[in-house]
Structure 1
Amino acid sequence: MNELHVEGLTKSYGASEPVLRGLELAVPAGALAAVLGPSGCGKTTMLRIVAGFLHADAGTVRLGDRLLSGPGVHLPPERRRIGIVPQEGALFPHLSVARNVAFGLTGADRAERRRVTEEMLELVGLAGYGDRMPHELSGGQQQRIALARALAPRPQLVLLDEPFNALDSALRAGLRADVRAALHATGATAVLVTHDQQEALSTADLVAVVRDGRVAQCDTPQHLYGRPADPWVAGFVGDAVLLPGTVEGKGTALTALGAVPLATPPNGTRTGTVLLRPEQLRLTATDSEGAARGTVTDICYYGHDAMVTVTVDGHDTPVGIRVAGPLSVRPGQETGIRVVGEAGLHP
């Protein structure tokens, strides 16, 4: 099998503070995991250690039943059976597309190299492009060829280092879907390093959020967004509405937006931070029963929806409300706010 296990990974550069502080990550065989985090959190350092480009100070890296890195062990990159897709493709400019794809097929005869190359080009949607040169391709096409080159030797693991950064937003979404489909078609385990929350949530089977050299939470995209481990993770993965709350009874918390039902029992906690998402808030008439009151202070329109910022009576921090469809409010207007669904509570 080709599951990836990273345990206790630690790394410092010189006398500086550790970049990795016992990082743990497990990726099931055939899954695509996104490693998400702010700049400087250690995600690229982890990727380079897994690839074999850096030595870890401590910890182990296992791929299936093989130890790649550990005490007294450091398998060189070329022996790890790992494919790498760098940020900007990094194709060999003097080689044709076909020769780029076939570059890692050492030991295969000419017929096999040709068969695999054609198979990989078809897989990434560029069949018939083998005779072209890299400079004749668009940025998105170059990234597809880089993926084909990484997949051609049938690696156990594919590492993608922010491969969509240089592309415009309209091209990214389609390419992400194609990359995901190609990876699943080959059955390779994959790790995507990114700082783009939307990219991680929409592409990966698992998302690991890294903070200060450790994995703060690793979960499915749906569970990570819906049940973040703490307010920091909630704010990093999407927009969050954070409110002080006091537990009332067994299943509700009293907040500036009124009584809010809780998703899980409070386990003895009486006060804490109540977490909601902007799409859980609704604008209503100011005289609606049970609605909180506030004043619209700003509107950011995105086309498919808008983010309406409201200052809530009795609460110092404005809250964001995601509104779909036509807007019925304007800055300076009073409005009612109602909560839909359940909230999380963090001590």
Structure 2
Amino acid sequence: MTDLRIEGLAKAYGPGSAVLDGLDLTVPGGALAAVLGSSGCGKTTMLRIIAGFLRADAGTVTVGGRTLVAPGVHLAPERRRIGIVPQEGALFPHLSVARNVAFGITGLDRDERRRRTEEMLDLVGLTGYGDRMPHELSGGQQQRIALARALAPQPALVLLDEPFNALDSALRTGVRADVRAALRATGATAVLVTHDQQEAMSTADLVAVVRGGRVAQCGTPQEVYRRPADPWVAGFVGDAVLVAGTAENGTATTPLGPVPLAAGVTAPRAGTVLLRPEQLHLTDPASAGARGTVTDVCFYGHDAMVTVAVDGLDTPVDVRVAGPVPVRPGEQTGIRVTGEATLHG
């Protein structure tokens, strides 16, 4: 197992243009970590420094205890034992699939290289495709070959730079599952850079949310979703319902009614109460603690999002509804809250 440790990583492209500002991140050996952030937050810069394509201004990067980056240390990319899966596969167009996969394998004789190549093709579900050329493959097949090429030299770490962007949504889900299964089969430590929240939450063992060149929160997908570090993280990794409230004795008093808090708050304290839309339920307005008017309904098939202008709240709230939608815009409805909330501020 080879863990990745990043401490105090900094990088600027000019005066006053810091992209990374003391970023810290630890990925345990064998884990797949998704680095999630908006454009310009520094996630791709971090990936390029780990790979050795950029020099850091400060900080350290170690993989399995081996120092790749440190003050006065910049190990050459070819000596880092890092596999890279770029966007859109980036296969060598003049080489066959088998020769693409075998490209980075060194130190083995011809038969061993062939055996290793066949093992990698089998791992990504493309046995028998070795004689084909890259242009004869679909986009999803090219991404799986790119992963096989990255894994073939048995790297200490695999970096995936938004590798599913070019795929249509129907294909993306299947390829993501194949990539995750292949990484787990080899026990590889991997870092996936993405701006797609659903991709990060559904694929990774750990999710690191990057904001302003630093990791705002890192944890399991459930931890980041259910216990976000602050309202910004909450809104970035999913739909959030934010209401003002006053907490005391483990319960927050809000315009939506009393809401139990995940972390006990004993002393009186005001702040922002965070809920998820699936914690809100539509009820009979005559018996509900909170009432409002439906302003919009967005139907997605598997569920729907109902927007309600709640009495006493300046901002409408979203309610996620499973199954048939029982209301239409303009109708009155009640709202009931279930589960625990978190208090911020």
TM-score by length of 1: 0.98
Would you identify which runs of 4 or more consecutive aligned residues in structure 1 move more than 6 Å? none
Deviation at 1:79, TM superposition (A): 0.3
Deviation at 1:244, TM superposition (A): 0.4
Deviation at 1:17, TM superposition (A): 1.9
The match for 2:325 is 327
Deviation at 1:251, TM superposition (A): 1.3
Partners of 1:88 and 1:109 lie apart in 2 by 30
Taking the TM superposition and a 5 Å limit, the aligned residue runs for 1:59-98 are 59-98=59-98
Partners of 1:13 and 1:298 lie apart in 2 by 45
Deviation at 1:221, TM superposition (A): 0.4
Deviation at 1:109, TM superposition (A): 1.2
**CA deviation digits over 1:248-286, x for unaligned, max 9?**
x30111111011111112264610000000000000011
The match for 1:223 is 223
The match for 1:174 is 174
Taking the TM superposition and a 5 Å limit, the aligned residue runs for 1:234-249 are 234-247=234-247, 249=248
Deviation at 1:106, TM superposition (A): 2.2
Deviation at 1:16, TM superposition (A): 3.7
The match for 1:312 is 310
Q: How many residues align?
A: 345
SS in 2 for 1:35: strand
The residue type paired with residue 285 of structure 2 is T
1:255 and 2:243 are equivalent in the alignment? no
The residue type paired with residue 137 of structure 1 is L
Deviates more, 1:263-272 or 1:177-186: 263-272
The match for 1:266 is 265
The match for 1:343 is 341
TM-score by length of 2: 0.99
1:276 and 2:272 are equivalent in the alignment? no
Partners of 1:180 and 1:49 lie apart in 2 by 23
The residue type paired with residue 219 of structure 2 is D
Partners of 2:246 and 2:51 lie apart in 1 by 48
Deviation at 1:15, TM superposition (A): 2.0
Deviation at 1:107, TM superposition (A): 2.7
The residue type paired with residue 258 of structure 2 is A
**CA deviation digits over 1:212-260, x for unaligned, max 9?**
000000000011100000000000000000000012x301111110111
Partners of 1:279 and 1:137 lie apart in 2 by 41
Give the aligned CA root-mean-square deviation in angstroms.
0.9
Question: Identity over aligned residues, as a percent?
Answer: 78
- In 2, are the aligned partners of 1:284 and 1:291 still within 8 Å (CA)? no
Deviation at 1:14, TM superposition (A): 1.9
SS in 2 for 1:104: coil
SS in 1 for 2:103: helix
The match for 2:51 is 51
Partners of 1:129 and 1:22 lie apart in 2 by 44
- In 1, are the aligned partners of 2:250 and 2:266 still within 8 Å (CA)? no
- In 2, are the aligned partners of 1:48 and 1:54 still within 8 Å (CA)? yes
